[in-house]
Structures are given as C-alpha cells and as structure tokens.
A and B are shown apart, each in its own frame.
Chain A
C-alpha cells in the first residue's frame, strides 16, 4: 500500500496535537479516564489503518475519536451506574490549563455550560479545525445547522462572560 505520509513522525504529530484531540474526546465522554481511553484507541486505530491515506490526517483522527467515543458509550450500559456518578465531573474538572486572564478563565468555565449540541460544534471548529461542512458530516447534520449552533453558542458564551465579568 502506498504510504502518503511515509516521512511523518507520528509520535511528534501526536505530541503536537494530542492536547486538542483529548479535549475533543473529553467533551464526548463522561470522565477523564474515558477520554484518555478514547484518545488512545482512536489514535491507534487511525495509525494502524488510515495513516497511509492521502490528505490532512486531522479530519480522519477526529472521526476516529468520535467513533471510539460512540463505541465506548455503547459499551457503557453495563457501567451506567458508575458513569452516572462520574458524569458529574463535567462541571468540576477543568478541561484547560489554568488561566490567569479572568476573561479566558470565564470563557473556559462558560464552555461547559453550553448545551452539548452547541459545545461539540464549538470544540470541533476551534480545536478540531473542521469546517461547517466537515462538522455536519461528523455529526450527521447539515452545514447550516452546524453554523446555526455555532452562532447560538457564540451568543451564549458572550452573555456568560459578560455576566461573569460584571459580577
């Protein structure tokens, strides 16, 4: 099989992109440990089966992350009770490095308050580097719906951080 990225150092690639990929995994999982598991599984799947494919590997890895997260959710029925509890950490565990800028800190907190369907569009656009067309494909929605969720999310974030900075 022809390897379109034969010169690619995948360890270096993961070192560069691992943090944002983990954030993408994190917003589709219930806890930190699940996010780590999903990220590992997704990257190994990509590396074993898709790393030879031409084009930008980013979208393929993001797709792999989403599939691994969905697989984990499907397997999760038997651990439902546990996940119900650990799911609570969505509000308490930070997703980002600590920020000294109060506006950025407020923004990091506000992101977690968004409805899940808006948050995933924001995460996929900002940290996934995907277009609305690609986000639509990922989430099985139209690009217009993705763009609409993005606009609602921006409006909500603006309100949240304005309220926070005026407290």
Chain B
C-alpha cells in the first residue's frame, strides 16, 4: 500500500523552482569576489577604532573635504509592468443620446537600474490610471 502523502510529496519534489535571475547571480558574484583583505579589514575594526574613524569621517564631511568618488554607472536590470486592474462602471448617456460604458484601467510600471560597483540602485515607479469610454451599440 502506498502512502498518499508520500506520493504528493514526491510529486512536489519533482517540480523545478525557477532559478534566480541573472542580476542576482551577478550581484552575488560581485560580493563573493570582493577582495578578502578589504573584508578582513572591515571585520577587524574594533569598536574604538570604528568610532574614531566615524568621527574623522563626520568631521571631514562637515568641513566639506570629501572627495567626490567616481560616479556610479547604472545599468538597466529590470522593467516590470503590473497586471492591469480593470473596473467597468454603469453605462452613461452621452450628450448626443448614445450610450457608453466608462472603464478605468490602472497599472504600474517599475524600472530598475543598478550599479554593481557601489551596490546601489535606482527605481522608477510610475502608477498609471486611465479612464476611457467604450461606446455601446443599442438596437
């Protein structure tokens, strides 16, 4: 006799989850490839040294002495358009006596750029909302 739960579990295990996107893999590769010496130096900072360094950095920024680093180079990594949300309203009568049905369509566009070197991202999120009238034919 077979265990039905076991059958379902076996079938679930046969499903193949989607792999992470290329952008994730690329960003992880950047993290894992970062120079070990830099990571080691960061980890090795004691609390006292860290606070002293932070105070120095704060003073430097306050005095305007910070040197502008190289500008990030953003690359487009994702463009998404959400599923539209469509609402139909009751038909209305137009000035010329004809009928039309108002329809409201809402969706979002999201565009994302990333700079792998500085690990920063720009996200442009734009909601869209359009109201249109669909002419109705009456007999």
Spot the interface stretch: A13-21, A69-77, A131-139: A13-21
Asked, given contacts A104-B11, A122-B12, A154-B8, whether A127 binds B28 with beta carbons under 8 Å apart, the answer is no
A88 at the interface (CB under 8 A from B): yes
**Residue A107, interface by CB 8 Å:** yes
Which of B17-25, B51-59, B60-68, B87-95 touches A?
A: B17-25
Contacts of B110 in A (CB 8 A): 33
Chain A interface size band reads: 35 or more
Contact with B along A83-99 (1 / 0, CB 8 A): 00110110010111101
A111 to B8 CA separation, bound complex (whole angstroms): 11
CA distance A37 to B21 in the complex (A): 10
Interface 1/0 per residue, B94-119 and A, CB below 8 Å: 00000000000010101010000000
Task: Report A-chain residues with C-beta under 8 Å of the C-beta of B45.
Answer: none
Write out, one digit per residue, whether chain A residues 16-31 have a CB within 8 A of any chain B CB (1) or not (0). 0011111100100001
Q: Distance in Å from the Cβ of A153 to the closest Cβ of chain B? A: 9
Counted as pairs of residues, one from A and one from B, with CB atoms less than 8 Å apart, the total is 99
Interface size on B, residues (CB 8 A): 34
Name A1's closest neighbour in chain B (CB-CB).
Answer: B43
Residues of chain B within 8 A of A11, CB atoms compared: 28-29, 32
CB neighbours of A96 from chain B (8 A): 15-18
B residues within 8 A CB of A127?
17
Query: How far apart sit A51 and B54, CA to CA, in the bound complex (Å)?
Result: 28
Q: Are B32 and A86 interface neighbours, CB within 8 A?
A: no
Q: Is there an interface contact between A36 and B23, defined as CB atoms closer than 8 Å? A: yes
Q: Hey, which chain A residues are within 8 Å of B13, CB to CB?
A: 126
- Report Cα–Cα, A18/B110, bound state, in Å: 25
Contact of A19 with B24 in the complex, beta carbons under 8 Å: no
The interface residues of chain A lying within 8 Å CB-to-CB of B82 are 85-86, 88-89
**Listed residue (B16, B20, B85) with the most chain A CB atoms within 10 angstroms of its CB:** B20
Chain A, residues 132-150, CB within 8 Å of chain B (1/0): the string is 0000000000000000001
Could you tell me which A residues sit within 8 Å of B by CB distance? 10-11, 14, 18-23, 26, 31-33, 36, 39-40, 43-44, 47-48, 82, 85-86, 88-89, 92, 94-97, 99, 103-104, 107-108, 111, 122, 125-127, 150-151, 154, 157-158
Chain A to chain B: the 10 pairs with minimum beta-carbon distance, closest first: A23-B17, A97-B16, A19-B17, A154-B5, A19-B19, A126-B12, A36-B24, A96-B15, A18-B20, A22-B20
Binding site for A on B (CB under 8 A): 4-5, 8-9, 11-21, 23-25, 27-29, 31-32, 39, 78, 80, 82-83, 85, 106, 108, 110, 112, 125
